[in-house]
Every structure is written in C-alpha cells, then in structure tokens.
Structure 1
Amino acid sequence: MSFGPLIVQSDNTVLLETYHPQAGAAREALAVFAELERAPEHIHTYRITRLGLWNARAAGHDAEEILDTLNSYAKFPIPEAVKNSICDTVARYGKLEIVRDAEGALLIRSDRPDILREVVTDKKIAPLLLRERNESTYEVSDWARGELKQQLLKRGWPAADHAGYTPGDPHAVALVENDWQLRDYQRAAVSAFTRGGSGVVVLPCGAGKTLVGAGAIAEVSAKTLILVTNTVSARQWREELLRRTDLTPDDIGEYSGEVKEIKPVTIATYQILTAKRGGNYAHLSLLSVENWGLIIYDEVHLLPAPVFKLTAELQARRRLGLTATLVREDGREGDVFSLIGPKRFDVPWHELTAAGFIAPATCFEVRIDLDADTRMQYAAAEDRERYRIASTARQKIDIAREILAHHDGEQSLIIGQYIDQLEQIAEALDVPLITGQTPTSDREELFAAFRAGRVQTLVVSKVANFSIDLPEASVAIQISGSYGSRQEEAQRLGRILRPKSDGKQAHFYTLVTRDTVDQDFAQNRQRFLAEQGYAYELLTVQDLAAKYSADS
C-alpha cells in the first residue's frame, strides 16, 4: 500500500489530497469511473457511482483495472465493502443482452435465467415483451427497444445492445485530407464509435468533435441527420463538412427556423425540433420521416426531453453523441447512457493540452465586495432575487474593464446570464453585444469580424456557450452564470481553448461577489473543471491590481 493521495471510504466516496505529488495522476485515473462532488481547496471528494462504473465498463475498463487504480493511489486499504460493490456493479453490465435472431426478431437473453426472471416480471418491463421462448430468452416488441433499455438501467441491469442497426439509405462520403489529417485521438474516437455502433464521444471544447462527426459520417456513408444547438452552429457544421469531406452544397440541408431543407446530410436545430404548433411538436417527425443511417447529437448533454422521447423509438439507427461533459443538470445522464449509448471514448483535457491540441489555461476567481447599499438590498431580498442582485453587481463592470486593459490586444469575450447586465457592460465598454435576440445574420457577421481581428472584444449571452468556433479568443471574463451549472462552466472555458497561432496561454476569469450565493454557486460550477485538473486562483480586487502591477 502506497502513501498516496487517496482515501477510499466505506460510503463509496474517495478523498483526494490536492497538494500530494501524485494528485494529478490520481485525478486523471479517477475521472474514468468517479464523479467529483465537492472541490474545496485542499481536499476534493469523489463518488463512485453505478453509472460511472458502467460507463467505464462500456469503454473497456474492468473491475480489476478500477481496483488497481484505487490500490495504486490509496493511503489506506480499500474497505472490503467497496471492493465488493465495485465488482458486483461492474459485473452487472452486459448480464442481459439484446439481440436479433436469424429471422430478425428482437430478443432479450441471458445466461443467468434468475436475473432474466427478475426483470421480466417487473410491471414496467412485462408489457414490453411478446412471449417467452425459453428460460433464457424472451421476445421483445420491436418498438420497445429503447424503453426496455431505460427500464433495465433503472433496475440496475444495464443491457448490452447487440441487436444491430439499419443501414439507412446509402450516401457515400469520404474525408478529403489534403492539408489536414484526423489526429490520432480523433481517429481512435471514430473507431471506438464504429465498433460500438452507438454511444458518446467526450472531448474538450476545441479538440475537434466536429471532425470526429465527419469521420463517423464517412465511416457510415448513409443519410445522416445532425442535431445542433442553434442556427450558427448548424452553419459552422456545414462549412466544416464542405471543407473536410467530398460533400457538395447540394448534399447538405439546413432545417431551422429560417430554412427547411431535407437532403442526404441534414443539419437541424434542437429549437426547431422542440417548437410547438397547436400544442404539438410540429417538426419532431423529422427524426423518423427519413431512412437515416446515422443521427449525430451535438452537445448531447443539452438534448431536450422531447428529443429523448422519440430517440427511444429510434434504437435501430446508429447514434453518436458529442460532448465536452456527460454532466446534465437535469440528472438525465442515465437516459443518455441507455438511449444514445454509453461513453465510447474520452481523453483527459490535460493530455491534449500537453500535446498542444488545446491551449493551456489559467483560471482566476476574482472576489468582489458589494457596496453598502447593495449589501443592504441583498440582505432584505427574497432568496430567488439574491442571486440576481449578487451576480449583477455594478462593480463587475470596472473589474472587467481593468482585465481588458491588462490583456489589451488579445481577443476577449465577456460572458453573462442577465441581458440587462450585458447591455450595461456593452454600453459602458463600447463593445458589441450578441444575445438570443440578435439576428443570425448579425451574429455571423460579428463572429466573423471577431475571428478576423476587426473586433477585439465581444459581450455574449449564453448563446455563445455552445459550438461557436472562435479560434483566437484567449481571454474570457464570466460576469454571471446559470446558477451552479457545471456544464456551462466547461462550455465557457471551452470557448478559449483552441490552440493559438502564437502559442499564447488562455485566461479565464470568473467575477464573483464575496459572501453571497454568487460565491456558493461559483464553487459548484467549478467542480467539473477541477475534475479535469484546472485550479482556480482566488484573488481579491486588491490582489488582482497587485498582480497586474507586478506583471507590468
């Protein structure tokens, strides 16, 4: 037993001593199967969850490897109950298998008839079955494949789905790797997806998830539906596919609030799919109306509930989820696992940073004191108003101005949650503002000007959280956020992680009002990035001024 940085506790939590020399290596190994729950300065708390273990198993890690990791870094012996729990949980994955027979009938089977009997008598599973073939095999209604996997996961028996996929209508696609090539990890991600047939690829923002999508399209070479967060993302996908593949403009259609095209490769927005007309989702049938061979879910952690529902009925289609984080603030990670597929591939963020594929980043939390009047207003406010008051403190405008002055000449983003606050700071600093109300054409024009360096600073709302390619952005100032959203923190840092042409380091600032709910939520938001090895340097306003003075 080593004197490592981990203490494994009997409640399946793991404590990580952040200042231990092996802390970085232990953190990377833990991220394969455990989730960070709390990240104070000295001790981080992880929890070993069933879903984390099953995702690890689906990605090729077994119980022996997981226990070896814990033994390698643990300070004390691992409790026997934890060992047994890990072995039992990992062993549950794949005890049930969904397959097709020679005639194409959908079956659930197991070499453990006792386990099969346990699940088929469940009142929510029994209606999904047609008949018993023998004690080891039941026939399943074809439409019930997705719902069956959801219910089995809830019962603690995640099924291995080997029932195969419809090929869809063929449409040959090839990558055109003239002045570029898929990186090794991107090629490995495509290969892992192809072997599995469906599932999720987890890569940091800026690591080229779109290229993984292009590689998957080329591998499948069939009609493809790509679901994205907004129209700007749809057009960026289109540009990348035209550049990286032999697809022509006539092959690619946009299905959004502005255009309704269905072509061999169709790019649709989540907004249009969930738009209602007369109380019904008027466009959701797009998911099933064509004989798609592949459906790609960009930013799968944001997949809306109505799309989940229909995806349950599309289990015969190959499905690829792309994301920087499997964290969902609505707790539906299990639905991603069962309906899109398990995690097939991921790469630690710091590994890609070390290789130069994403930019190194330094993170700062700047703590600001409310003035006396605002502090009294905060104290007297209802709970639901306190976050807005703390988040929109006017002092943040002056600090943002100071940060921009220090990073003069660098491409910078100011990101926030509240539109009135963003309007104030855009006016005060005399810089352009992009929100959800900004017309798509204006957004594209401003983003293009920013990429070209004609605009140095943009103020952006949460519309810039997702799938916006701004390669030279190197400074981000977060002035307010969506409460404690870990996924948002990851996305916002991701906006500045593209490698810079001059090798410049990225700087991520979060402005937080001290001793308020703004500070509490900031600590929760930072959990995911702490899991990836990013440490926030805590600064007061005075510390920031002293730091800048020393730097100059």
Structure 2
Amino acid sequence: MQPGPVWVALWQLLAATPGQNKRQLLAGLQRMGLHGLTTTDVNRTLYANTATFARDGATPPRWRLTGAASWNGGAVPAAVPAALPRCYVGKEPRAWQIEALAAWRAHDRRGVVEAVTGTGKTTVGVLAAAAAVDAGERVLVLVPGRELLDQWYDVLRRDLHGVLVGRHGDGHEDGLDDHSIVIAIVNSAAKYQMLPLGMSGLLVADEVHRYGAPYFARALEPDFDGRLGLTATYDRPDNGFIEHLEPYFGGVVADCSYDRGLADEILAPFRVAFVGVDFTPDEQKAHDEYDDRVRRLRRRLIVDHGCPAEPFGEFMASVNHLRVGGEGDSRAAWDARKYLDAFTKRREVLAECWNKQVALAYLAPVLATADRGLVFGETRRSAEHAAAVLRASGLQAMEITSGMNTLERKQRLAAFKDGHAKVLAAPRLLDEGIDVPQADVGVIIAGSRSKRQMIQRMGRVIRPKADGRPATFIILYVKRTAEDPDTGAHEGFLEQIIDVAQEIERFDHLTSGAALLAWHLSGRRPN
C-alpha cells in the first residue's frame, strides 16, 4: 500500500526538522499546499504510524522519525500485528492497546500503562491476562474495591473462553490453586500469599497508584514474574511511589494521552469552563478562621513535632500517626487532632459554599440539554444539596453516595443508564472504579488539586458521542482559595488539557444562565 500524501509530507518535514509538535507540523503541511487539515488529522497520521513516527514526553509531544523509518518513494510495508491470545474472544483491540501490550512485553512483562480514563486500559490488562493463561500461568488481578471486583469479573468471563475466573474479598474466597484467574480486593489479598508455591504468574494491578500504601504493598508478591500496572496517572502524594511501586513495577512503558485518544477518536472532543464564585460573609469568616488554624498548626507539627513538610501525603501520614498517640506525646496528639479537625472543616466550607449551589442552579439549563449529566462533589451533604437544587429546577436528579448499600447504588446507576434519572450527583464515589453510563456534561462543585482525580472525573464525560458533538466539563471554584486556578489549583491538569481542549473559558457565577447556556450550545453547532 502506497503511503498517503499527509504521511509523505510529515516524513519530509520531520526528516528536515525533527522535534516539531502537531501545530508546527500543521503549519508545515499548509506551506506545502495541504490545506483543510486540522491538528486532529496530523495526530491521526502520526499515531497510526508509530513504526515511522516517534514522540517524546512533552506536552504537546514533539515528533521525530524512528531509527527504522525509511522511504524511497516505493511501497511501505505494513506492520503485522501479533496474534491475539487463543482464549480471548472480546472485541478487536484498539491500535494503542496492541502497541501498549507490545511495549510491556518488550520490557520483560514489567511496567505500567498510563491511559486517560475512557480510553480502555482494562482491555490491556485482559489481553495480558489471556496471554498468561495461554502460557499456563496463573493471574492475580488486584482492585481497590468491590465495584471493580465485580466489573473485572464480568469482563473476564465475557471476554475469555474456557477460563475459570474467581474472586477474593467481599465474601468471596477463591484462590489460584484451582482458578486460572482471581480478581482480589487489595486489602484482602494483602493478608495472604495468593500465588501458590512453584507456580508462575502474572499480577495485574488496576488503579496501581493506590498500592503504594504500606499495607496494600504487601499484596505485591515478589514471586509474580509478570507485573502490569494500570492507571490514569502514575503518581502519589507520598513516598509510596518510590518505596513500593517503582521498585516492583518499574516505570511507564506505554500510554494513551488525550492527544492519542482524540486522534484515534476514542475520546470525544471537549470544552472546559471555569466558573468562579465568592463566599458569603459568614462563609468567608469561617474559611479564614479554619485556614489560619490549619496553617498555624501545620507549622507547629513540622517544627515542634517533626512531621515532614513534603510530600503532603507523608505529612498527613505522620499527622495521623501522631493523632492516635503514635509517639506517646499527648501535646503532639492534641495538635494533630486539632489540625485534622480544622482541615476537614475548611474543606467542608469550600465544598458546601452557598454560591456554588446558586451557580449550579444557573447551570440547570445546560444540564437539561445533556443526554445525561454528572455532578461531582466532595462530601455526601454537598452531593445531596446538588441533587435537590437540580430537582427544584425541574431536572430528574438523584444523588449516589457510599452510605447507600450496594443494591441501592446499582438501582440508581440503572436509573441513570435507562434515562429515568437525567443527572447523577456524587461525592468521590464516581472518581474511579464504578462503570458509569455515558454522560456528556460534567460539573465539579468541589475542586481538587489532584491531577489524577480531575482526569478521572473528566474521563466520565468524554467518551465519543454518536453525533460527534463535544463534551462539556464545568468546574466551580471559590475565588482566592486553594480551588482557584489563579492560586495554582489544577496546574497539572491544565497542563495536560490546555493544548487539546477545543476551548477553555472563564466565567463569573453572576453570569446569567442564558450566557452559560449560549456558550455550551455554541460548541455543539456544526462548523
């Protein structure tokens, strides 16, 4: 098959000047007379031909020709994909999934695959597990909770033929002595040696960033030769990454970024709006008091009681150790408890800010245009308030929280999937793990400094839409606080999306609902 004109032109541009990003390459294509193209067209060609084009880790990536790339004007041989595992009967894998699996194998079956939520990282784990079963190995899949336990169980039973799959945890006690694959909740697996002596095996760790905690790290058994981590963002706010994860798994061997997901049309294009609100006078006073208390006690915990200043996760681990009297120092325990109390109350003031609820009411017309909408909160009470505000605005909205039993949560997710509920409001429950039905508008009413949490939340709304329309992602924040992008909030998240989002807009909460609706609808009109 002859290479197309875009392929040839990109080859020529990168042969002449390596290290160009997609925008520079698009400008070069236009100079060469190839008009009517977009950066998506450029990315589609680059990512579909990774035997020829290689990228670095910059944002956006800079591209060069691979060492093996050549072209003499003749036919270009197509790469022959590796055969799928014999027991795999699932859907045809996407190109990036095949590439990720090949990269992991090339690293002696050790490493982490980092993929934006919604791109299908689970399939990489399923393919790796199927290949291991074909080779006579046993497979342990670690998951953080019962929702993922059941989801992995259903997926593996659906996509693998003739393979005995079991579960461990949440009342299940299956083992690898008589099952080819066992999905285990990490805190249950950490209590036992899961891989029988003398057997070879593969460990797949879903949401691998979670297992850097000392207790969870006990589940990372050294006798597993194959080790595959799956995550949206391979980092932690403490030393668990350095102490446990990287020594066991190694680094990232393959990824699927927003760029790749958009180029392959795995993800929907998206637009982002930040809506800033102000505290009421009483809220401002309460926030300032708690904030002052947090800062003062943090200094005391570091200077007087020896808590590490950074990373923040290690600081919090040390504070919690002192809180329960870990050092036998009653003054340290008292300071730790007062710090955690003030920290929690400051977070609650931010999460339950009255003007966020006012802004959410302004957003009701936007959510009304959605097939389905998701509202992400920080506390159960803020999720309940959000659902009530939207119901008062005439929307079919309901909350879903961890305080509900499994059956009630499943019923509400089913109602959302069937369209009986148009909007679902939840605290952190929906951030990872739960398979949420497709939504096209997401609203965050409690911001987070965690890049991973923001990526996971946005991944819930940027799955491709049948009509190609973009998703809308709206972030409410309190001005001049830790939520404000102007004070550094969302910095890592913004770095990832700033070059791939169709538009990033800023609004004040006093902006009329009509203006917000007009902005939202403008992105849905055909160009």
TM-score range, shorter chain: 0.5 to 0.7
Say if 2:268 and 2:468, in contact at 8 Å, map to a contact too. yes
Cα drift, residue 261 of structure 1 = 2.5
Residues 428 and 524 of structure 1, relative CA distance in 2, 3 Å threshold: closer
Deviations 1:489-539 (A, max 9, x none): 111111112222332311111110111233269843341342243564221
> 464, 468, 483: which is aligned to 2:430?
464
Alignment of 1:226-305 (within 5 A): 226-247=141-162, 251-262=164-175, 263-273=179-189, 283-286=191-194, 291=199, 293-305=201-213
Deviations 1:372-412 (A, max 9, x none): 23223323333334333123202212322332322314211
Alpha carbon RMSD of aligned pairs, Å? 3.4
Q: Report the Cα distance in structure 2 between the residues aligned to 1:68 and 1:402, rounded to whole angstroms.
A: 38
User: In the alignment, residue 268 of structure 1 is paired with which amino acid?
Assistant: A
Q: Is 2:79 the counterpart of 1:191?
A: no
Cα drift, residue 425 of structure 1 = 2.3
Residues 204 and 376 of structure 1, relative CA distance in 2, 3 Å threshold: same
- Larger strand percent: 1
SS at match of 1:524: coil
User: In the alignment, residue 326 of structure 1 is paired with which amino acid?
Assistant: Y
Cα drift, residue 470 of structure 1 = 2.6
User: In the alignment, residue 169 of structure 2 is paired with which amino acid?
Assistant: S
Alignment of 1:517-532 (within 5 A): 517-519=482-484, 523-532=488-497
Q: 1:540 maps to which residue?
A: 508
Q: Is 2:410 the counterpart of 1:451?
A: no
Say if 1:232 and 1:444, in contact at 8 Å, map to a contact too. no
SS at match of 1:469: coil
User: In the alignment, residue 265 of structure 1 is paired with which amino acid?
Assistant: I
Residues 508 and 24 of structure 1, relative CA distance in 2, 3 Å threshold: farther
Cα drift, residue 331 of structure 1 = 4.2
Say if 1:387 and 1:517, in contact at 8 Å, map to a contact too. no
Cα drift, residue 203 of structure 1 = 1.2
Q: Is 2:500 the counterpart of 1:511?
A: no
Alignment of 1:393-432 (within 5 A): 393-408=353-368, 409-430=370-391, 431-432=397-398
Identity of aligned residues (%): 26
SS at match of 1:200: strand
Say if 2:351 and 2:377, in contact at 8 Å, map to a contact too. no
Residues 191 and 425 of structure 1, relative CA distance in 2, 3 Å threshold: same
> 176, 181, 185: which is aligned to 2:89?
176
Q: 1:209 maps to which residue?
A: 121
Cα drift, residue 366 of structure 1 = 0.7
Alignment of 1:301-450 (within 5 A): 301-306=209-214, 309-310=217-218, 313-314=221-222, 316-334=224-242, 335-381=244-290, 382-383=293-294, 384=343, 385-408=345-368, 409-430=370-391, 431-450=397-416
Q: 1:76 maps to which residue?
A: none
Cα drift, residue 247 of structure 1 = 4.4
User: In the alignment, residue 380 of structure 1 is paired with which amino acid?
Assistant: E
Q: Report the Cα distance in structure 1 between the residues aligned to 2:55 and 2:261, rounded to whole angstroms.
A: 23
Residues 310 and 67 of structure 1, relative CA distance in 2, 3 Å threshold: closer
Q: Which runs of 5+ in 1 are unaligned?
A: 1-21, 27-58, 74-171, 275-282
Q: Report the Cα distance in structure 2 between the residues aligned to 1:511 and 1:67, rounded to whole angstroms.
A: 30
Cα drift, residue 308 of structure 1 = 5.7
Residues 192 and 473 of structure 1, relative CA distance in 2, 3 Å threshold: same
SS at match of 1:206: coil
Q: Report the Cα distance in structure 2 between the residues aligned to 1:518 and 1:68, rounded to whole angstroms.
A: 26
TM-score by length of 1: 0.63
User: In the alignment, residue 539 of structure 1 is paired with which amino acid?
Assistant: F
Cα drift, residue 424 of structure 1 = 2.3
SS at match of 1:501: coil
SS at match of 1:502: coil
Alignment of 1:34-183 (within 5 A): 174-177=87-90, 180-183=91-94
Say if 2:59 and 2:496, in contact at 8 Å, map to a contact too. no
Say if 1:328 and 1:487, in contact at 8 Å, map to a contact too. no
SS at match of 1:193: helix
Say if 2:363 and 2:516, in contact at 8 Å, map to a contact too. no
Say if 1:301 and 1:327, in contact at 8 Å, map to a contact too. yes
Residues 24 and 480 of structure 1, relative CA distance in 2, 3 Å threshold: farther
Cα drift, residue 293 of structure 1 = 1.2
TM-score by length of 2: 0.66
Say if 2:187 and 2:216, in contact at 8 Å, map to a contact too. no
Cα drift, residue 290 of structure 1 = 8.9
Say if 1:359 and 1:497, in contact at 8 Å, map to a contact too. yes
Q: Report the Cα distance in structure 2 between the residues aligned to 1:67 and 1:181, rounded to whole angstroms.
A: 28
The runs of at least 4 aligned residues of structure 1 exceeding 4 Å deviation read 22-26, 64-73, 287-290, 549-552
Residues 521 and 466 of structure 1, relative CA distance in 2, 3 Å threshold: farther
Deviations 1:174-199 (A, max 9, x none): 1114xx31111111111112222111
Q: Which runs of 5+ in 2 are unaligned?
A: 1-19, 25-49, 64-84, 295-342, 392-396, 523-527
Cα drift, residue 456 of structure 1 = 1.5
Say if 1:477 and 1:508, in contact at 8 Å, map to a contact too. yes
Q: Report the Cα distance in structure 1 between the residues aligned to 2:239 and 2:265, rounded to whole angstroms.
A: 33
Q: 1:38 maps to which residue?
A: none
Q: Report the Cα distance in structure 1 between the residues aligned to 2:57 and 2:442, rounded to whole angstroms.
A: 39
Q: Report the Cα distance in structure 1 between the residues aligned to 2:172 and 2:58, rounded to whole angstroms.
A: 53
Q: 2:330 maps to which residue?
A: none
Q: Report the Cα distance in structure 2 between the residues aligned to 1:227 and 1:375, rounded to whole angstroms.
A: 43
Q: Report the Cα distance in structure 2 between the residues aligned to 1:69 and 1:470, rounded to whole angstroms.
A: 29
Q: Report the Cα distance in structure 1 between the residues aligned to 2:451 and 2:57, rounded to whole angstroms.
A: 28
> 501, 504, 519: which is aligned to 2:466?
501
> 456, 475, 500: which is aligned to 1:491?
456
Residues 521 and 365 of structure 1, relative CA distance in 2, 3 Å threshold: same
